[in-house]
Amino acid sequence: MSEFKYDLAVIGLGYVGLPLAIEAASNTLKVAGYDTNKSIVSNLNNSVSHVEDVSDKALGDALSKELSFTSDSNVLGDSEHIVISVPTPLTDYQPDLSYVEAASKSIGENLKKGQIVILESTTYPGTTIEIVQPILENISNLKAGEDFLLGYSPERIDPGNKEWTFKNTPKIVSGINKNSLEKISKFYKLIIDEVIEVSGTREAEMVKLIENTYRQVNIAMVNELAILSNMLDIDIWEVIEAAKTKPFGFQSFRPGPGVGGHCIPIDPKYLSFKTRQIGQPVRFVELAQEINNSMPNYVVSRVSELMNKKEILLKNSKILILGVAYKKDISDTRESPAIDIVQALLEKSADISFYDPFVEELSVNKTSIFKEENIKNFSNYDLILIHTPHSDFQNINFIEVTSLIFDSTGSFTIPDAERI
């Protein structure tokens, strides 16, 4: 493909970087996966995956082709394309780009003419040209758009989604100039079914934020309507099902215990950060965040209300949280509303356990939460709070469970159970 030893180097081997490396290697590209975590690198080289969507077998198959993993940053100077897929968390409610900056510095120290650098990490508009580009240019003494090419392509990974995978989900691509865009687009077309070009990196960065802000806002709306409907003694679930029959102008969203994961709770805050820099807060978006953040406490209030009706004290009561992952059929508990729910219940002196076939252990504020292993013990609890609608839970015969049941997801039809 070029004079470089590798076609692609991927920096950051998490839920975004590893699937990219696997897919590229599966399409006959020579790939180097780079991560500063030597333990992760060692495990990956031994066909042990830490990413749910990448099986050990898929990893092993890719390793048998043209894929290898390393913690040696020299590999970055030997690759035609370099993709940055490192975390961009929030620290003290502010975007933390330290991982992006560190990756950019490592690239800059090894950067050669003719290389193509692509940022995939979720961030606010302007990061590619305001943060990454100056670091690369200052360290390497090379000119972006001339000596090396640079662009942005937002990741669209949906963990646990078997229908829309890395390969068949349309890929947004951008470049800082025409040549960068053309080369980056050509690269992704080698491994992804459909590539969508946008005019600039700021537009591409905004795409990811608007996708998840859209979901945040609509989830908040239906959550607030669920609260209102409960106060008015209206079945919000019946209302939603009826509204869905309209063949145009309506998209269904479901109320729930809050929002979790690596995207919906985080991405709108990147947008808020950027807009506040220019003196224009996004009040509608921030209100949506406030509503969704309040849902765990609302769930706890509904649980307390239900138990009071049955003359059961919340203090010292035994409550089982059914599912603690942030979405169904995965083990990821990042930003899961279950954490806040458990914390609130612990503060009210309830005795909390959890049952989740995907999550091995749960700790909340250094308190280890007991994991229930036996479905037959469900009736030993005063209340079961359904938090995550794992597919396996459809096989549970809730009719035989004598405990009170509160379904915060609305995903199950259970006689006498309350739904959010």
- Say if residue 171 is in the same domain as residue 317: no
Cβ neighbours, 10 Å, residue 39 = 10
- Say if residue 337 is in the same domain as residue 189: no
For residues 213-240, average pLDDT:
97
Rg (CA), the chain: 24
- Say if residue 70 is in the same domain as residue 182: yes
- Say if residue 10 is in the same domain as residue 131: yes
380 residue type, one letter: N
Q: How confident is the model over 362-392, as pLDDT tens digits?
A: 999 989 999 999 999 999 999 999 999 999 9
Q: Which of 165, 198, 231 is the last residue of a domain?
A: 198
Query: How far apart, in whole angstroms, are the C-alpha atoms of residue 375 and residue 377?
Result: 5
Residue 376 forms part of a structural domain: yes
- Say if residue 165 is in the same domain as residue 309: no
Q: What is the pLDDT of residue 281?
A: 85
CA angle 327, 333, 337 (to 5 degrees): 70
Structure-token pair, residue 406: 């509160």
Q: Which of 175, 198, 221 is the last residue of a domain?
A: 198
Cα atoms in the 13 Å half-sphere on the side-chain side of 14 = 17
Residue 234 forms part of a structural domain: no
- Collect all residues with Cβ–Cβ distance below 8 Å to 96 and sequence separation of at least 6: 88, 89, 90
Structure-token pair, residue 6: 């590798």
- Say if residue 194 is in the same domain as residue 298: no
355 residue type, one letter: Y
Domain count, the chain: 2
- Say if residue 151 is in the same domain as residue 298: no
Q: How confident is the model over 156-197, as pLDDT tens digits?
A: 998 888 899 999 999 999 999 999 999 999 999 999 999 999
The catalytic residue among 111, 263, 299, 320 is 263
Q: What is the pLDDT of residue 21?
A: 97
Residue 240 forms part of a structural domain: no
Range of the domain at 153: 6-198
- With a cut of 80, say whether residue 289 has pLDDT above it: yes
CATH of the domain at 389: 3.40.50.720
Q: How would you label 239-267 residue by residue, b for 16+ Cβ within 10 Å and e otherwise?
A: ebeeeeeeeeeeeebbbbbbbbbbbbbbb
CA angle 253, 257, 259 (to 5 degrees): 65
Instruction: Give this prediction's pTM.
Output: 0.91
Residue 102 forms part of a structural domain: yes
3 state SS for 88-150? CCEECCEECCHHHHHHHHHHHHHCCCCCEEEECCCCCCCHHHHHHHHHHHHHHCCCECCCEEE
- Site of tokens 């269904």: 252
Residue 264 forms part of a structural domain: no
For 101, the 3-state DSSP assignment is helix
Q: What is the pLDDT of residue 37?
A: 96
- Collect all residues with Cβ–Cβ distance below 8 Å to 39 and sequence separation of at least 6: none
Q: Which of 138, 164, 198 is the last residue of a domain?
A: 198
DSSP conformational letter for 391? G
Q: How confident is the model over 106-145, as pLDDT tens digits?
A: 999 999 999 999 999 999 999 999 999 999 999 999 999 9
Residue 204 forms part of a structural domain: no
- Are 337 and 304 within 8 A, CB to CB? no
- Are 298 and 347 within 8 A, CB to CB? no
Q: How confident is the model over 17-36, as pLDDT tens digits?
A: 999 999 999 999 999 999 99
- Collect all residues with Cβ–Cβ distance below 8 Å to 178 and sequence separation of at least 6: none
Q: Catalytic: 263?
A: yes
